[in-house]
């Protein structure tokens, strides 16, 4: 009999998720996606359960995928805007966490300061999910790795190249996620935009950090993200000067030497900046299956954290 995988209490960042737990979430996501594709619906395992969606940043994929994930599992989600809550301003984070814990069965928060997520998890008595912070985007990484696994049939030994701002939250979470599943990572960024060395050191992945675009040679996945993230608007002019050589275009795809390389982007995309239309809409692109898998990956989180469905 296989060993029982310990349950997660929150999903704050991937540093606190074991390889076994991460694989358990991937398998549960696959099971829930297959169930819906086969039957047209999921079992209502979250009937009577509610999820608070706490937002400081705007969102399309995060809000809709969590709301629909709860609906498809029989539960209910409700949106709380920045103006309604004023997290850490109108009311302390500790108070918000304790109030919401008495009203609902889980909290998903999309914030600027990662410490706000940490504090929510510290004070809440219900599970807290990080829907994005300036430090990490673990839900995105879970969906991304699920997409790669689904498309290529394996993960161990594969190599992902992240081209662009290697210091951002998506790159950090991909580095951590890769270490859970035996993937290799190449971060290809301009000088001054490398990932935090502590993130690299904490990952079990084989991580190469370089400014050289020849680093895309032979990779299985070519990944990019916006050059200027929310909250960095004052740096936009400088970033637009520095990043253009790192655009993911047909030439860069060809430099991988892999006709079947997967091209990924967490969206929203600034088309014509970090990625061209020809690539985003081209034969190697999995941008939209990747976005759709946010739903299935997060349903696994919700089923486990709110529905007590064990990881296997």
CATH fold group of domain 140-291: Rossmann fold (3.40.50)
Instruction: Report the predicted TM-score, pTM, of the whole model to 2 decimal places.
Output: 0.96
Can you give the pLDDT at residue 103?
Answer: 98
Phi then psi for 131, rounded to 5 degrees? -85, -5
Cα atoms found within 13 Å of the Cα of residue 185, Cβ hemisphere only: 32
3-class DSSP state for residue 263? strand
- In the chain the first and final C-alpha atoms are separated, in Å, by 11
Can you give the pLDDT at residue 232?
Answer: 74
Establish whether 116 is a catalytic residue: no
Can you give the pLDDT at residue 114?
Answer: 96
Q: Which residue out of 21, 56, 72, 140 is catalytically annotated?
A: 140
Distance of alpha carbon 10 from alpha carbon 305, whole angstroms? 7
**73: CB partners within 8 A, 6+ apart:** 42, 43, 44, 45, 46, 49, 299, 302, 303, 307
Establish whether 139 is a catalytic residue: no
Phi then psi for 252, rounded to 5 degrees? -70, -40
Q: Which residue out of 61, 116, 137, 239 is catalytically annotated?
A: 137
Check if the beta carbon of residue 100 is closer than 8 Å to that of residue 107.
yes
Write out residues in the chain with pLDDT < 70, as ranges. Answer: 1-2, 88, 230
CATH 3.40.50.1370 given to domain 14-137+293-305: yes
Distance of CA 247 to the CA centre of its chain: 21
3-class DSSP state for residue 75? coil
Establish whether 83 is a catalytic residue: no
Can you give the pLDDT at residue 91?
Answer: 87
Establish whether 140 is a catalytic residue: yes
Q: Which residue out of 186, 239, 255, 294 is catalytically annotated?
A: 294
* Per-domain boundaries in the chain: 14-137+293-305, 140-291
Can you give the pLDDT at residue 1?
Answer: 44
Can you give the pLDDT at residue 234?
Answer: 80
Can you give the pLDDT at residue 2?
Answer: 59
Check if the beta carbon of residue 25 is closer than 8 Å to that of residue 311.
yes
Summarised one tens digit per residue, pLDDT across range 106-156 is 999 999 999 999 999 999 999 999 999 999 999 999 999 999 999 999 999
Distance of CA 283 to the CA centre of its chain: 23
Establish whether 95 is a catalytic residue: no
Q: Which residue out of 21, 72, 116, 266 is catalytically annotated?
A: 266
How large a percentage of the chain has pLDDT more than 70?
A: 98
């Amino acid at each position: 009999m296989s060993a029982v995988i310990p349950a997660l209490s929150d999903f704050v960042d991937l540093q606190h998720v074991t390889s076994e737990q991460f694989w358990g979430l991937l398998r549960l996501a696959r099971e829930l996606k297959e169930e819906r594709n086969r039957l047209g619906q999921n079992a209502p395992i979250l009937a009577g359960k509610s999820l608070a969606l706490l937002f400081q940043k705007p969102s399309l994929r995060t809000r809709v995928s969590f709301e629909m994930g709860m609906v498809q599992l029989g539960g209910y989600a409700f949106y709380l805007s920045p103006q309604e809550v004023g997290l850490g301003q109108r009311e302390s984070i500790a108070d918000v966490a304790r109030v919401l814990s008495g009203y609902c069965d889980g909290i998903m928060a999309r914030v600027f300061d990662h410490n706000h997520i940490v504090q929510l998890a510290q004070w809440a008595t219900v599970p807290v999910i990080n829907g994005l912070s300036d430090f990490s985007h673990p839900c995105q990484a879970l969906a991304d790795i699920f997409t790669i696994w689904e498309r290529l049939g394996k993960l161990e030994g594969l190599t992902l190249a992240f081209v662009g701002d290697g210091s951002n939250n998506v790159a950090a979470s991909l580095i951590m996620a890769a270490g859970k599943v035996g993937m290799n990572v190449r971060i290809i960024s301009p000088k001054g935009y490398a990932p935090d060395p502590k993130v690299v050191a904490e990952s079990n992945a084989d991580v190469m950090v370089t400014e050289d675009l020849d680093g895309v040679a032979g990779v299985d996945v070519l990944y990019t993200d916006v050059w200027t993230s929310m909250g960095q608007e004052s740096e936009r002019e400088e970033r637009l000067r520095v990043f253009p050589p790192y655009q993911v275009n047909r030439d860069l795809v060809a430099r991988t030497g892999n006709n079947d390389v997967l091209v990924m982007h967490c969206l929203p995309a600034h088309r014509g900046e970090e990625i061209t239309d020809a690539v985003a809409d081209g034969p190697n692109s999995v941008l939209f299956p990747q976005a759709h898998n946010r739903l299935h990956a997060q349903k696994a989180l919700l089923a486990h954290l709110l529905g007590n469905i064990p990881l296997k």
